[in-house]
C-alpha cells in the first residue's frame, strides 16, 4: 500500500509540473538557491550525490556490478559539483580585473562566438551554444578571456537561457561600471531536440541591450560584427 501511495503522489507532482517544464517558463532573475546551499563542502556533496545517483540507476534496472557502470555514480557526482554545476557557487566566480584604458579606445569591443555548455533546469539535459558580448569602454577595459569566463560561469549551472542572458549582461555592467553592454545568445536545447517535439534544427536566440545599445544604429553595428564572416565559422 505504501508503494502505491508513493507512486500516486509522484504522479500527481509530475502532472503539476509537466506543463510548466514544457513551456520553459522562468520565474526568477537569480538562479533559485536555498539559503543553506553552500553549507556542505564539495566532497560531502559528491558523496551524497553519488549515493542518490546509484539509487536512480538501480531503480532503472542497471547492473552496477558491471565494470562499465560501477564507477558511474561517483563520476556523475564529481562532474556535477566540480564541472557542469560549478557556477552555482559564488566562490567560483571569475576574478575579473580591470585595466586602465591607456589607448583611449572608445569604440565598441565585441567578443563573439564564445562557446558554452549549460544545462536546462527543467529536464537536466544540455544546452549548447554561443554567446556574443560587447561593451563600449569608458575609463577601464577588461582582459578578453574574462568575458569568456563570465559567460561560462553563468553557463555552469541549471539554467534558463533568458535568465543566463540577463545575468551575463548584469555582471558585465557591474564589473565594468558602464551601462553600454550587449549580450546575444544562440543555443541548441537538447530538451527540444531529443525529447518532446524532437526538433533538432531549431535554435533559441535571446538578447539583452542597455545603454548606447538601445540605440538602433549602435545595435545594428553590433549585429553586423557578430555576423561578419559567419559563413566561414
Predicted confidence (pLDDT) per residue in 51-100, tens digit: 999 999 999 999 999 999 999 999 999 999 999 999 999 999 999 989 88
115 and 200: one domain? yes
The answer to whether position 18 is within a domain reads: no
224 and 193: one domain? yes
Predicted confidence at residue 69, as pLDDT, reads: 97
111 and 196: one domain? yes
156-185 per-position pLDDT tens digit:
999 999 999 999 999 999 999 999 999 999
102 φ/ψ sector (left φ>0, alpha ψ -120 to 50, else beta): alpha
pLDDT category, 208, cuts 50, 70, 90? Answer: very high
Which residue in the list 120, 132, 167, 208 is annotated as catalytic?
120
Known catalytic residue at 104: no
Which of 84, 119, 150 is where one domain is finished? 84
The answer to whether position 90 is within a domain reads: no
Q: Residue 186's domain spans which residues?
A: 98-232
Which residue in the list 111, 122, 159, 208 is annotated as catalytic?
122
Per-residue CA distances from 43 to 50, 154, 158, 185 (Å): 11, 22, 20, 33
93-126 per-position pLDDT tens digit:
999 989 888 888 889 999 999 999 999 999 999 9
Known catalytic residue at 230: no
The answer to whether position 181 is within a domain reads: yes
The answer to whether position 26 is within a domain reads: no
138 and 199: one domain? yes
Which residue in the list 123, 132, 159, 167 is annotated as catalytic?
123
43 and 147: one domain? no
Return d(Cα 11, Cα 135) in angstroms, integer. 48
Q: If DSSP codes are grouped into helix, strand and coil, which group holds residue 206?
A: strand
Copy the grid coordinates of residue 162: 533568458
Predicted confidence at residue 2, as pLDDT, reads: 47
Predicted confidence at residue 152, as pLDDT, reads: 97
The answer to whether position 5 is within a domain reads: no
178 and 152: one domain? yes
55 and 125: one domain? no
103 and 68: one domain? no
Return d(Cα 194, Cα 123) in angstroms, integer. 11
- Pair 130, 183: CB distance under 8 Å: no
The answer to whether position 17 is within a domain reads: no
Query: Residue 224 above 90 pLDDT?
Result: yes
Which residue in the list 159, 167, 191, 208 is annotated as catalytic?
191
Which residue in the list 111, 159, 189, 208 is annotated as catalytic?
189
pLDDT category, 27, cuts 50, 70, 90? Answer: low
Give start and end residues of each alpha helix (H) in the chain. 2-23, 42-59, 72-79, 144-155, 161-176, 190-193, 216-226
The answer to whether position 23 is within a domain reads: no
120 and 214: one domain? yes
- Pair 122, 159: CB distance under 8 Å: no
Q: Is 38 exposed, middle or buried (0-12, 13-18, 19+ CB in 10 A)?
A: middle
The answer to whether position 58 is within a domain reads: yes
Higher pLDDT, 17 or 72: 72
Which residue in the list 132, 161, 167, 208 is annotated as catalytic?
161
For cell 565494470, what's the residue? 67
Which residue in the list 111, 121, 167, 208 is annotated as catalytic?
121
Known catalytic residue at 220: no
Q: Which of 159, 176, 8, 200 is nearest to 101 (CA)?
A: 176
* Region 142-155 average pLDDT: 95
Copy the grid coordinates of residue 90: 559564488
47 and 121: one domain? no
Average pLDDT of the chain, as a whole number: 88
Known catalytic residue at 161: yes
Known catalytic residue at 189: yes
Copy the grid coordinates of residue 4: 502505491
182 and 112: one domain? yes
116 and 213: one domain? yes
Tell me the CATH number at 126: 3.30.1130.10
Tell me the CATH number at 80: 1.10.286.10
Counting the structural domains of the chain, the total is 2
Amino acid at each position: 500500500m505504501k508503494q502505491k501511495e508513493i507512486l500516486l503522489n509522484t504522479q500527481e507532482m509530475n502532472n503539476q509540473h509537466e506543463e510548466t517544464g514544457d513551456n520553459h517558463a522562468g520565474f526568477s532573475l537569480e538562479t533559485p538557491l536555498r539559503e543553506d546551499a553552500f553549507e556542505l563542502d564539495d566532497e560531502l556533496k559528491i558523496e551524497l550525490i553519488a549515493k542518490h545517483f546509484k539509487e536512480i540507476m538501480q531503480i532503472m534496472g542497471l547492473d552496477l556490478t558491471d565494470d562499465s557502470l560501477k564507477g558511474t555514480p561517483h563520476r556523475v557526482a564529481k562532474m556535477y559539483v566540480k564541472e557542469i554545476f560549478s557556477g552555482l557557487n559564488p566562490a567560483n566566480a571569475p576574478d575579473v580585473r580591470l585595466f586602465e584604458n591607456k589607448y583611449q579606445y572608445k569604440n565598441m569591443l565585441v567578443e563573439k562566438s564564445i562557446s558554452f555548455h549549460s544545462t536546462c533546469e527543467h529536464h537536466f539535459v544540455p544546452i549548447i551554444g554561443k554567446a556574443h558580448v560587447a561593451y563600449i569602454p569608458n575609463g577601464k577595459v577588461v582582459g578578453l578571456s574574462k568575458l569568456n569566463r563570465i559567460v561560462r560561469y553563468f553557463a555552469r549551472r541549471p539554467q534558463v537561457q533568458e535568465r543566463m542572458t540577463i545575468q551575463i549582461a548584469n555582471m558585465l555592467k557591474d564589473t565594468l561600471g558602464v551601462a553600454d553592454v550587449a549580450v546575444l545568445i544562440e543555443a541548441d536545447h537538447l530538451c527540444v531536440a531529443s525529447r518532446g517535439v524532437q526538433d533538432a534544427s531549431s535554435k533559441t536566440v535571446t538578447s539583452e541591450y542597455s545603454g548606447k545599445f538601445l540605440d538602433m544604429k549602435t545595435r545594428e553595428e553590433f549585429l553586423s560584427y557578430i555576423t561578419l564572416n559567419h559563413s566561414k565559422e
